[in-house]
Protein backbone atom coordinates (compact mmCIF):
# COMPACT_ATOMS: atom_id res chain seq x y z
CA UNK A 1 0.00 0.00 0.00
CA UNK A 2 1.24 3.45 -0.89
CA UNK A 3 -0.35 5.28 2.02
CA UNK A 4 0.39 5.13 5.71
CA UNK A 5 -1.70 5.92 8.77
CA UNK A 6 -0.64 7.67 11.93
CA UNK A 7 -2.26 8.00 15.33
CA UNK A 8 -1.75 11.76 15.65
CA UNK A 9 -4.94 13.76 15.97
CA UNK A 10 -4.48 17.35 14.74
CA UNK A 11 -4.18 19.73 17.68
CA UNK A 12 -5.15 23.35 17.91
CA UNK A 13 -1.49 24.33 17.79
CA UNK A 14 -0.91 22.31 14.65
CA UNK A 15 -1.15 24.09 11.32
CA UNK A 16 0.73 25.14 8.31
CA UNK A 17 4.49 25.39 8.47
CA UNK A 18 6.23 28.68 7.84
CA UNK A 19 6.37 30.01 4.32
CA UNK A 20 9.50 30.04 2.15
CA UNK A 21 12.42 32.43 2.48
CA UNK A 22 12.98 34.63 -0.58
CA UNK A 23 16.43 36.15 -1.09
CA UNK A 24 16.63 38.71 -3.91
CA UNK A 25 17.00 42.42 -4.69
CA UNK A 26 15.45 42.08 -8.15
CA UNK A 27 12.11 43.89 -7.80
CA UNK A 28 10.55 42.23 -10.84
CA UNK A 29 11.64 38.76 -9.74
CA UNK A 30 10.37 39.45 -6.22
CA UNK A 31 6.97 40.43 -7.60
CA UNK A 32 6.77 37.13 -9.49
CA UNK A 33 7.83 35.06 -6.48
CA UNK A 34 5.36 36.82 -4.20
CA UNK A 35 2.62 36.13 -6.75
CA UNK A 36 3.53 32.43 -6.86
CA UNK A 37 3.62 32.23 -3.06
CA UNK A 38 0.14 33.75 -2.93
CA UNK A 39 -1.08 31.17 -5.45
CA UNK A 40 0.30 28.42 -3.21
CA UNK A 41 -1.29 29.92 -0.10
CA UNK A 42 2.08 30.64 1.55
CA UNK A 43 3.32 33.78 3.29
CA UNK A 44 7.07 34.23 2.62
CA UNK A 45 9.87 35.96 4.46
CA UNK A 46 11.90 38.31 2.23
CA UNK A 47 15.57 39.31 2.61
CA UNK A 48 18.22 40.81 0.37
CA UNK A 49 20.84 38.42 1.71
CA UNK A 50 21.25 35.65 4.26
CA UNK A 51 19.35 36.64 7.43
CA UNK A 52 21.53 37.45 10.42
CA UNK A 53 21.99 34.71 13.03
CA UNK A 54 20.70 32.05 10.66
CA UNK A 55 17.02 32.87 11.02
CA UNK A 56 14.90 31.81 8.10
CA UNK A 57 17.89 30.42 6.23
CA UNK A 58 18.04 27.57 8.76
CA UNK A 59 14.35 27.18 9.54
CA UNK A 60 12.38 27.95 6.38
CA UNK A 61 10.98 24.83 4.67
CA UNK A 62 12.13 26.21 1.31
CA UNK A 63 14.62 28.91 0.24
CA UNK A 64 14.17 30.71 -3.09
CA UNK A 65 17.37 32.52 -4.10
CA UNK A 66 17.21 34.96 -6.99
CA UNK A 67 20.11 34.62 -9.40
CA UNK A 68 21.06 38.20 -8.56
CA UNK A 69 21.67 37.14 -4.93
CA UNK A 70 23.66 33.95 -5.57
CA UNK A 71 27.02 35.55 -4.74
CA UNK A 72 25.67 37.08 -1.51
CA UNK A 73 24.61 33.71 -0.11
CA UNK A 74 27.69 31.79 -1.24
CA UNK A 75 29.08 31.57 2.29
CA UNK A 76 25.83 30.50 3.97
CA UNK A 77 25.55 27.14 5.71
CA UNK A 78 24.63 24.33 3.35
CA UNK A 79 21.09 23.06 3.70
CA UNK A 80 18.49 21.22 1.67
CA UNK A 81 15.56 22.89 -0.04
CA UNK A 82 17.41 25.71 -1.81
CA UNK A 83 16.14 26.68 -5.28
CA UNK A 84 18.10 29.09 -7.48
CA UNK A 85 15.63 31.08 -9.60
CA UNK A 86 16.62 32.87 -12.80
CA UNK A 87 15.14 34.22 -16.03
CA UNK A 88 17.87 33.99 -18.65
CA UNK A 89 17.37 30.69 -20.46
CA UNK A 90 20.73 31.12 -22.23
CA UNK A 91 22.80 31.69 -19.10
CA UNK A 92 24.75 28.46 -18.67
CA UNK A 93 26.68 29.98 -15.77
CA UNK A 94 23.67 29.66 -13.49
CA UNK A 95 24.45 25.98 -12.99
CA UNK A 96 27.89 26.80 -11.63
CA UNK A 97 26.38 29.36 -9.24
CA UNK A 98 23.87 26.74 -8.12
CA UNK A 99 26.72 24.39 -7.23
CA UNK A 100 28.48 27.16 -5.32
CA UNK A 101 25.48 27.78 -3.04
CA UNK A 102 24.45 24.13 -2.75
CA UNK A 103 21.09 24.54 -4.49
CA UNK A 104 18.96 21.46 -5.01
CA UNK A 105 17.29 22.87 -8.13
CA UNK A 106 17.71 25.52 -10.78
CA UNK A 107 14.44 27.02 -11.97
CA UNK A 108 13.81 29.34 -14.91
CA UNK A 109 10.76 31.59 -15.00
CA UNK A 110 8.22 31.69 -16.43
CA UNK A 111 8.50 28.08 -17.64
CA UNK A 112 8.80 26.58 -14.16
CA UNK A 113 5.98 28.49 -12.48
CA UNK A 114 3.62 25.54 -11.92
CA UNK A 115 6.40 23.35 -10.55
CA UNK A 116 7.40 26.11 -8.15
CA UNK A 117 3.82 26.71 -6.97
CA UNK A 118 3.50 23.01 -6.17
CA UNK A 119 6.83 22.97 -4.37
CA UNK A 120 5.97 26.06 -2.30
CA UNK A 121 2.60 24.56 -1.35
CA UNK A 122 4.22 21.27 -0.34
CA UNK A 123 6.75 23.10 1.81
CA UNK A 124 4.13 25.30 3.45
CA UNK A 125 1.85 22.37 4.25
CA UNK A 126 4.59 20.00 5.30
CA UNK A 127 5.04 16.84 3.29
CA UNK A 128 4.88 13.52 5.11
CA UNK A 129 3.58 10.05 4.29
CA UNK A 130 0.34 10.22 2.28
CA UNK A 131 -2.88 9.14 3.94
CA UNK A 132 -3.84 5.49 3.70
CA UNK A 133 -6.85 5.71 1.41
CA UNK A 134 -9.51 3.02 1.64
CA UNK A 135 -12.33 2.74 -0.87
CA UNK A 136 -15.57 0.98 0.05
CA UNK A 137 -17.90 -0.22 -2.69
CA UNK A 138 -21.07 -2.30 -2.65
CA UNK A 139 -21.23 -5.57 -4.57
CA UNK A 140 -24.89 -4.76 -5.18
CA UNK A 141 -27.36 -2.08 -4.20
CA UNK A 142 -28.13 -2.06 -0.49
CA UNK A 143 -25.00 -4.00 0.43
CA UNK A 144 -24.23 -1.64 3.30
CA UNK A 145 -21.09 -0.05 1.86
CA UNK A 146 -22.02 3.47 3.00
CA UNK A 147 -22.64 2.22 6.52
CA UNK A 148 -19.27 0.47 6.56
CA UNK A 149 -17.49 3.53 5.12
CA UNK A 150 -18.94 5.75 7.85
CA UNK A 151 -18.08 3.23 10.57
CA UNK A 152 -14.50 2.93 9.33
CA UNK A 153 -14.09 6.71 9.31
CA UNK A 154 -15.69 7.20 12.74
CA UNK A 155 -13.51 4.45 14.22
CA UNK A 156 -10.35 5.88 12.66
CA UNK A 157 -11.10 9.32 14.11
CA UNK A 158 -11.91 7.86 17.52
CA UNK A 159 -8.49 6.16 17.49
CA UNK A 160 -6.83 9.55 17.05
CA UNK A 161 -6.05 9.74 13.34
CA UNK A 162 -6.66 12.70 11.09
CA UNK A 163 -9.55 11.30 9.08
CA UNK A 164 -11.46 12.45 6.02
CA UNK A 165 -14.60 10.71 4.77
CA UNK A 166 -15.36 11.27 1.09
CA UNK A 167 -18.74 10.56 -0.49
CA UNK A 168 -17.90 9.78 -4.12
CA UNK A 169 -21.40 8.55 -4.99
CA UNK A 170 -23.54 11.48 -6.22
CA UNK A 171 -26.68 9.33 -6.10
CA UNK A 172 -26.17 8.06 -2.57
CA UNK A 173 -28.09 10.76 -0.70
CA UNK A 174 -25.12 12.27 1.16
CA UNK A 175 -23.01 10.74 3.91
CA UNK A 176 -23.44 13.87 6.00
CA UNK A 177 -27.07 12.78 6.43
CA UNK A 178 -25.97 9.35 7.68
CA UNK A 179 -23.70 11.15 10.15
CA UNK A 180 -26.50 13.47 11.25
CA UNK A 181 -24.76 16.57 9.92
CA UNK A 182 -26.71 17.69 6.87
CA UNK A 183 -27.22 21.13 8.48
CA UNK A 184 -23.59 21.60 9.55
CA UNK A 185 -21.82 24.42 7.72
CA UNK A 186 -19.04 23.63 5.29
CA UNK A 187 -18.42 23.04 1.61
CA UNK A 188 -19.90 20.16 -0.36
CA UNK A 189 -18.86 18.63 -3.69
CA UNK A 190 -20.57 21.25 -5.92
CA UNK A 191 -18.20 23.90 -4.53
CA UNK A 192 -15.29 21.98 -6.08
CA UNK A 193 -16.90 21.28 -9.46
CA UNK A 194 -14.68 23.79 -11.27
CA UNK A 195 -11.46 22.95 -9.42
CA UNK A 196 -8.38 22.37 -11.54
CA UNK A 197 -4.72 22.31 -10.77
CA UNK A 198 -3.64 22.04 -7.17
CA UNK A 199 -5.99 22.22 -4.16
CA UNK A 200 -4.37 23.10 -0.82
CA UNK A 201 -4.70 20.25 1.66
CA UNK A 202 -5.00 22.48 4.70
CA UNK A 203 -7.53 24.77 3.04
CA UNK A 204 -9.59 21.77 1.94
CA UNK A 205 -9.67 20.30 5.42
CA UNK A 206 -10.65 23.57 7.05
CA UNK A 207 -13.46 24.17 4.55
CA UNK A 208 -15.30 20.88 5.11
CA UNK A 209 -17.93 20.07 7.74
CA UNK A 210 -16.50 18.65 10.96
CA UNK A 211 -18.56 15.76 12.32
CA UNK A 212 -17.61 13.29 15.05
CA UNK A 213 -13.94 14.37 15.05
CA UNK A 214 -13.54 13.85 11.30
CA UNK A 215 -14.01 15.91 8.15
CA UNK A 216 -16.66 14.98 5.59
CA UNK A 217 -16.87 15.78 1.90
CA UNK A 218 -20.42 15.00 0.83
CA UNK A 219 -23.14 16.21 -1.54
CA UNK A 220 -25.73 18.87 -0.96
CA UNK A 221 -29.46 18.49 -1.54
CA UNK A 222 -29.49 20.54 -4.75
CA UNK A 223 -29.59 19.37 -8.33
CA UNK A 224 -27.08 16.72 -9.36
CA UNK A 225 -23.81 18.35 -10.41
CA UNK A 226 -21.20 16.70 -12.58
CA UNK A 227 -17.74 16.85 -11.02
CA UNK A 228 -14.99 16.88 -13.63
CA UNK A 229 -12.39 14.11 -13.30
CA UNK A 230 -9.71 16.77 -12.88
CA UNK A 231 -11.56 18.16 -9.86
CA UNK A 232 -11.90 14.70 -8.30
CA UNK A 233 -8.18 14.12 -8.78
CA UNK A 234 -7.21 17.50 -7.32
CA UNK A 235 -9.46 17.20 -4.26
CA UNK A 236 -8.49 13.63 -3.34
CA UNK A 237 -4.80 14.31 -3.91
CA UNK A 238 -5.09 17.24 -1.49
CA UNK A 239 -6.82 15.04 1.07
CA UNK A 240 -4.09 12.39 0.82
CA UNK A 241 -1.30 14.91 1.33
CA UNK A 242 -2.58 15.67 4.84
CA UNK A 243 -1.74 12.15 6.03
CA UNK A 244 -3.79 9.99 8.38
CA UNK A 245 -6.66 8.10 6.78
CA UNK A 246 -9.07 8.84 3.93
CA UNK A 247 -12.18 6.68 3.48
CA UNK A 248 -14.00 6.92 0.15
CA UNK A 249 -17.55 5.65 -0.37
CA UNK A 250 -17.43 4.63 -4.04
CA UNK A 251 -20.26 4.31 -6.57
CA UNK A 252 -20.85 0.93 -8.18
CA UNK A 253 -21.01 2.48 -11.65
CA UNK A 254 -17.51 3.57 -12.57
CA UNK A 255 -17.51 6.69 -14.76
CA UNK A 256 -14.55 9.00 -15.37
CA UNK A 257 -14.90 10.66 -11.97
CA UNK A 258 -15.18 7.29 -10.25
CA UNK A 259 -12.07 6.07 -12.05
CA UNK A 260 -10.16 9.10 -10.77
CA UNK A 261 -11.32 8.32 -7.24
CA UNK A 262 -10.24 4.70 -7.63
CA UNK A 263 -6.82 5.83 -8.82
CA UNK A 264 -6.28 7.51 -5.42
CA UNK A 265 -7.28 4.43 -3.42
CA UNK A 266 -4.67 2.17 -1.80
CA UNK A 267 -7.05 -0.62 -0.79
CA UNK A 268 -10.62 -1.40 -1.82
CA UNK A 269 -13.25 -3.24 0.22
CA UNK A 270 -16.01 -4.88 -1.81
CA UNK A 271 -18.99 -5.39 0.50
CA UNK A 272 -20.91 -8.49 -0.57
CA UNK A 273 -24.04 -9.92 1.07
CA UNK A 274 -23.70 -13.70 1.33
CA UNK A 275 -26.30 -14.65 -1.28
CA UNK A 276 -25.83 -16.00 -4.80
CA UNK A 277 -27.36 -13.06 -6.72
CA UNK A 278 -25.25 -10.62 -4.73
CA UNK A 279 -22.12 -12.63 -5.49
CA UNK A 280 -22.99 -12.62 -9.20
CA UNK A 281 -23.53 -8.87 -9.18
CA UNK A 282 -20.35 -8.33 -7.17
CA UNK A 283 -18.39 -10.23 -9.80
CA UNK A 284 -19.31 -7.62 -12.40
CA UNK A 285 -18.43 -4.77 -10.06
CA UNK A 286 -15.10 -6.40 -9.21
CA UNK A 287 -14.29 -6.78 -12.89
CA UNK A 288 -14.81 -3.06 -13.54
CA UNK A 289 -13.06 -1.90 -10.36
CA UNK A 290 -10.14 -4.26 -10.91
CA UNK A 291 -9.24 -2.46 -14.14
CA UNK A 292 -8.09 0.50 -12.00
CA UNK A 293 -7.58 -0.80 -8.46
CA UNK A 294 -5.27 -3.77 -7.96
CA UNK A 295 -5.73 -4.25 -4.20
CA UNK A 296 -9.41 -5.21 -3.91
CA UNK A 297 -10.60 -7.38 -1.03
CA UNK A 298 -13.92 -8.87 -0.01
CA UNK A 299 -15.86 -7.96 3.12
CA UNK A 300 -18.75 -10.43 3.42
CA UNK A 301 -21.97 -9.49 5.17
CA UNK A 302 -24.34 -12.10 6.59
CA UNK A 303 -26.72 -13.73 7.11
CA UNK A 304 -25.51 -16.54 4.89
CA UNK A 305 -27.48 -18.34 2.23
CA UNK A 306 -27.31 -22.16 2.34
CA UNK A 307 -23.96 -23.43 1.12
CA UNK A 308 -22.19 -20.08 1.47
CA UNK A 309 -19.74 -18.74 3.99
CA UNK A 310 -17.27 -15.88 3.83
CA UNK A 311 -14.44 -18.01 2.42
CA UNK A 312 -16.68 -19.43 -0.28
CA UNK A 313 -17.82 -15.96 -1.33
CA UNK A 314 -14.20 -14.84 -1.62
CA UNK A 315 -13.32 -17.98 -3.58
CA UNK A 316 -16.18 -17.45 -6.04
CA UNK A 317 -15.04 -13.88 -6.63
CA UNK A 318 -11.36 -14.78 -6.82
CA UNK A 319 -10.45 -12.04 -4.33
CA UNK A 320 -8.69 -11.97 -0.95
CA UNK A 321 -10.97 -12.10 2.07
CA UNK A 322 -10.76 -9.13 4.43
CA UNK A 323 -13.30 -10.58 6.85
CA UNK A 324 -16.94 -10.83 7.81
CA UNK A 325 -18.84 -7.61 8.43
CA UNK A 326 -20.89 -8.50 11.51
CA UNK A 327 -24.60 -7.94 11.89
CA UNK A 328 -25.02 -5.06 14.33
CA UNK A 329 -28.55 -5.13 15.70
CA UNK A 330 -28.03 -1.82 17.49
CA UNK A 331 -27.49 0.23 14.31
CA UNK A 332 -31.12 1.26 13.81
CA UNK A 333 -31.57 2.33 17.43
CA UNK A 334 -28.30 4.27 17.26
CA UNK A 335 -29.40 6.02 14.07
CA UNK A 336 -32.68 7.01 15.71
CA UNK A 337 -30.63 8.57 18.53
CA UNK A 338 -28.54 10.46 15.98
CA UNK A 339 -25.43 8.33 16.53
CA UNK A 340 -23.46 7.39 13.39
CA UNK A 341 -22.40 3.82 12.52
CA UNK A 342 -19.44 2.71 14.57
CA UNK A 343 -19.83 5.41 17.22
CA UNK A 344 -20.29 2.80 19.96
CA UNK A 345 -16.77 1.44 20.28
CA UNK A 346 -18.09 -1.71 21.94
CA UNK A 347 -20.48 -2.77 19.18
CA UNK A 348 -19.65 -5.58 16.72
CA UNK A 349 -19.31 -3.23 13.75
CA UNK A 350 -16.97 -0.92 15.67
CA UNK A 351 -14.86 -3.90 16.75
CA UNK A 352 -14.61 -5.04 13.11
CA UNK A 353 -13.47 -1.55 12.08
CA UNK A 354 -10.93 -1.32 14.90
CA UNK A 355 -9.44 -4.67 13.85
CA UNK A 356 -9.33 -3.46 10.24
CA UNK A 357 -7.30 -0.35 11.11
CA UNK A 358 -4.91 -2.41 13.21
CA UNK A 359 -4.24 -4.71 10.27
CA UNK A 360 -4.03 -1.79 7.85
CA UNK A 361 -1.50 0.01 10.04
CA UNK A 362 0.75 -3.05 10.05
CA UNK A 363 0.41 -3.60 6.30
CA UNK A 364 0.86 0.09 5.45
CA UNK A 365 3.78 0.75 7.80
CA UNK A 366 1.82 3.28 9.86
CA UNK A 367 2.46 3.96 13.54
3-state DSSP assignment of residue 327: coil
Instruction: Return d(Cα 77, Cα 55) in angstroms, integer.
Output: 12
3-state DSSP assignment of residue 324: strand
Instruction: Return d(Cα 33, Cα 45) in angstroms, integer.
Output: 11
Instruction: Return d(Cα 146, Cα 75) in angstroms, integer.
Output: 58
Q: Would you kindly state where each structural domain of the chain is located, as residue ranges?
A: 21-125, 132-364
User: Would you state the pLDDT for residue 12?
Assistant: 33
Instruction: Return d(Cα 132, Cα 267) in angstroms, integer.
Output: 8
Q: Closest by alpha carbon to 252, among 350, 356, 142, 100?
A: 142
User: Would you state the pLDDT for residue 7?
Assistant: 42
User: Would you state the pLDDT for residue 367?
Assistant: 37
Q: Could you read off the pLDDT tens digit of each residue along the chain, which spans 367 residues? A: 555 554 444 433 344 456 899 999 999 999 999 999 988 888 999 998 888 765 689 889 999 999 999 999 998 999 999 999 999 988 989 999 999 999 999 999 999 998 898 888 878 777 678 899 999 999 999 999 999 999 999 999 999 999 999 999 988 878 998 898 888 999 999 999 877 777 878 888 999 999 999 999 999 887 778 888 999 998 998 899 888 999 999 999 888 988 999 999 999 999 999 999 999 999 999 999 999 999 999 999 988 999 899 999 999 999 999 999 998 887 777 777 778 888 888 889 999 999 999 988 766 545 3
Q: Is the distance from CB of 260 to CB of 235 less than 8 angstroms?
A: no
User: Would you state the pLDDT for residue 163?
Assistant: 97
Q: What is the DSSP string of 128-179?
A: -SPBEEEEEEESSTTSSHHHHHHHHHHHHHHTT--EEEEE--TTS--HHHHT
User: CATH homologous superfamily of domain 21-125?
Assistant: Response regulator (3.40.50.2300)
User: Would you state the pLDDT for residue 225?
Assistant: 81
Instruction: Return d(Cα 264, Cα 236) in angstroms, integer.
Output: 7
| CA atoms in the 13 A half-sphere facing the CB of 178 | 26
Q: Closest by alpha carbon to 271, among 261, 257, 285?
A: 285
Domain 132-364, what fold? Rossmann fold (3.40.50)
Amino acid sequence: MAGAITDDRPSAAEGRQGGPLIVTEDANLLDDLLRLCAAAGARPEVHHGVPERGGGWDTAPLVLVGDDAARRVRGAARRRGVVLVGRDQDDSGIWQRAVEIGADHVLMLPDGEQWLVDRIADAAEGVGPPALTVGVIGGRGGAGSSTLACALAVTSARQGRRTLLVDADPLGGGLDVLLGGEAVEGLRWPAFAASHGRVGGGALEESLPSLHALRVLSWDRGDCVTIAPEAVRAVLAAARRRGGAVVVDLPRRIDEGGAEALAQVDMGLLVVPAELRAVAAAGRVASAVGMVLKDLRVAVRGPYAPGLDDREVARLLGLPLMGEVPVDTGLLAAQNRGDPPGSDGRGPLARFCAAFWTRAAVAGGGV
